[in-house]
Amino acid sequence: MKITEQLSSILKFYTKGKSKNNFIFPIIKRKSPLHQYNDMRWERKRYNENLKEIAGLCDIEEHLTSYVSRHSMATNLILNDVPINALSKMLGHSKLSTTEIYIKGLPTHVMDEYQERLEI
C-alpha cells in the first residue's frame, strides 16, 4: 500500500509515543489473541452499524458493510482498467482466483463493454 502524504500524517498521529510492538490504531487494547480477535469483531460490527446509519441519513437503500466498501473499491479499480494482478496485490490476495470473484460480481453491462473492446 502506498503511503500518501495524508496517510503518513494519520499514521504519525497514531504512532506517536508507541513502540513497534503496539497496534497502530487504538481499537485493539488487550493482549491475548482471543481478546484481540473479539476486539476486531466488535470494531467491525460498530463500523458496519455506523455505515448503516450513514446510509439511512443519505437515503441509500443498499445494505452497506465493510465488505461492500471493499468490493466497491475493487469494482472502481477494475472499471478504471487496473490490471487484475495489481488489484489482487492491492487487496492482499494470495491467489488470483480470489480476486476473480470480484470480477464475476460485475454487472452484465460492464462485462458487455469489456467484450465490445475486444471486438475491434
In this structure, the answer to whether residues 92 and 110 fall within a common structural domain is: yes
Residue type (1 letter), 88: S
pLDDT bracket for residue 26 (50, 70, 90): confident
pLDDT bracket for residue 103 (50, 70, 90): confident
Q: Is the dihedral of CA 47, 50, 52, 55 positive or negative?
A: negative
Residue/partner pairs of 85-90 with CB below 8 Å, 24 or more apart = 90/1
Rounded average pLDDT over 55-77: 90
Is 62 in contact with 68 (CB distance < 8 Å)? yes
In this structure, the answer to whether residues 75 and 99 fall within a common structural domain is: yes
Rounded average pLDDT over 23-42: 85
57 pLDDT above the threshold of 70: yes
Rounded average pLDDT over 84-89: 92
Task: State the pLDDT at residue 1.
Answer: 67
In this structure, the answer to whether residues 9 and 52 fall within a common structural domain is: yes
- Residue 90 belongs to domain spanning: 66-118
In this structure, the answer to whether residues 33 and 16 fall within a common structural domain is: yes
Task: State the pLDDT at residue 120.
Answer: 57
Looking at the structure of the chain, the number of domains it has is 2
Rounded average pLDDT over 16-34: 81
Please return the burial class of 73, using the count of CB atoms within 10 Å of its CB with bins 0-12, 13-18 and 19+: middle
53 pLDDT above the threshold of 90: yes
Here the cell at position 95 is 491467489
In this structure, the answer to whether residues 71 and 114 fall within a common structural domain is: yes
